[in-house]
Amino acid sequence: MKTIDELIADGVAGKRVFVRADLNVPLEGTTITDDGRIRAVRPTIAKLAEAGARVVVASHLGRPKGAPDPAFSLAPAAARLGELLGKDVAFATDTVGESARAVVADLADGQVAVLENLRFNPGETSKDDAERAAFADELAALADLYVGDGFGAVHRKHASVFDLPARLPHAAGQLIVTEVGVLKKLTEDVARPYVVVLGGSKVSDKLAVIDQLLEKADRILIGGGMAYTFLKAKGHEVGKSLLQEELIPTCLEYLARAEKRGVEFVLPLDVLVSPDFPDLKTKAPANPTTVSADAIPADEEAMDIGPKTRELYASKFTDAATVFWNGPMGVFEHPDFAGGTAAVAQGLIDSPAFTVVGGGDSAAAVRILGFDENKFGHISTGGGASLEYLEGKTLPGLAALED
């Protein structure tokens, strides 16, 4: 895989460099609530601009269903990128149309432009190879070189991720090089003990990664909504908590495999419960109660791991050499149920291990809860991409960057 440094060494001054970034940031109206992904791709864009490239940045945002939708415009992301770069960033109001062609043609050496949301064109996400290829041809006409740096999208077989690199000389940006390097530390020659913390709402989202990690990890700690299917599999009442009953046999199989392989598989000791799901807009007090994980009332729902579990999980990091965390421990968006996720984050910070926060809600939680990102070994920009890599899948966007 050719790197951006090698591309620059070959000369990029005066050339149009298409950077497939991941600017898929959360928005409230036009306000960006977490600019982590923009900050993550900034070094690649800045390096290209400093080398004299005419940088054309493209990304998706949300799921606009193949047609323009103002709610999913990349205009706020383009403005924030300009602030981070300390320079004006031009913005095209379409992807491959008149505005895009004019904005790109007007770029001088070292200048940067952002195209409108790629998913405003149905060819970006089409499952029809010909339709996707046609859109990739139009994108290729805007550039001389291609740099893939949208790690959060490399598991998608989309035109700008998979088809476009085949049409232009290409290289991997700094973010992708970093992300792949970190993932190799989690899959090849792993420093041990290797501890994995998995949360989030559904067991089904993590089935394949648990299957793989049972062969690699020394300890697996389970939290979030997915924990309750495991607790139910052990015969415990889980009340109104999230439950995927059809996956109970699979959970029992995983527990048996863990025991057979000597993998420590840790489930919550206690949880915070409430009769109703909390109001995430008003953040009104939910008045939770702490109960044993094997005694959840039938008419209540578990929302977070409890204090004993927080202490237990933190203790599992103290002798670790590698820790990978993906998925919050509870409904962290509400202050009454943020404690479990915060405890895991602090446990990682206190651990001597190389710590990796696996993107998605975990990365968002770290920032929302006010933790210093520099205290972690690495915070990934791609939750889904990270998980699929750990599952052993071939990621289309990475395969497309191979020479």
- Asked about 29 being catalytic, the answer comes back as no
Is 54 annotated in a binding site? The answer is no
Calpha distance 60→115 (Å, rounded) = 10
Residues 67/131, Cβ–Cβ less than 8 Å? no
Is 362 annotated in a binding site? The answer is yes
Calpha distance 160→140 (Å, rounded) = 9
What is the torsional sign of CA 25, 29, 30, 34? negative
- Asked about 199 being catalytic, the answer comes back as no
What is the torsional sign of CA 375, 378, 381, 386? negative
- Asked about 392 being catalytic, the answer comes back as no
Is 367 annotated in a binding site? The answer is no
From 360, 382, 383, 397, the catalytic residue: 360
Is 29 annotated in a binding site? The answer is no
Residues 79/89, Cβ–Cβ less than 8 Å? yes
Is 24 annotated in a binding site? The answer is yes
289: left (phi > 0), else alpha (psi -120 to 50), else beta? beta
Secondary structure (H, E, C), 264-277: EEECCCEEEEECCC
Is 156 annotated in a binding site? The answer is yes
Is 312 annotated in a binding site? The answer is no
**Vertex 275: Cα angle to 307 and 223 (nearest 5):** 40
Is 23 annotated in a binding site? The answer is yes
Is 361 annotated in a binding site? The answer is yes
Calpha distance 355→320 (Å, rounded) = 9
Q: Helix, strand or coil for residue 49?
A: helix
Distance of CA 149 to CAs 66, 111, 165, Å? 22, 18, 12
From 15, 37, 132, 316, the catalytic residue: 37
Q: Minimal CA–CA distance to 202: which of 273, 235, 251?
A: 251
Is 22 annotated in a binding site? The answer is yes
Calpha distance 254→272 (Å, rounded) = 25
From 2, 101, 202, 308, the catalytic residue: 202
Is 37 annotated in a binding site? The answer is yes
- Asked about 234 being catalytic, the answer comes back as no
Q: Which residues make beta-bridge pairs with 240? A: none
259: left (phi > 0), else alpha (psi -120 to 50), else beta? alpha
Residues 6+ apart with CB under 8 A from 59: 20, 21, 22, 23, 24, 74, 77, 114, 117, 118, 150, 153
Q: Minimal CA–CA distance to 170: which of 381, 402, 350?
A: 402
Calpha distance 215→210 (Å, rounded) = 9
Would you name the residues annotated as active-site residues?
A: 37, 202, 360, 384
Pick out the residues of the known binding site for ATP.
Answer: 206, 333, 359-362
Pick out the residues of the known binding site.
Answer: 22-24, 37, 60-63, 119, 156, 206, 333, 359-362
Pick out the residues of the known binding site for substrate.
Answer: 22-24, 37, 60-63, 119, 156
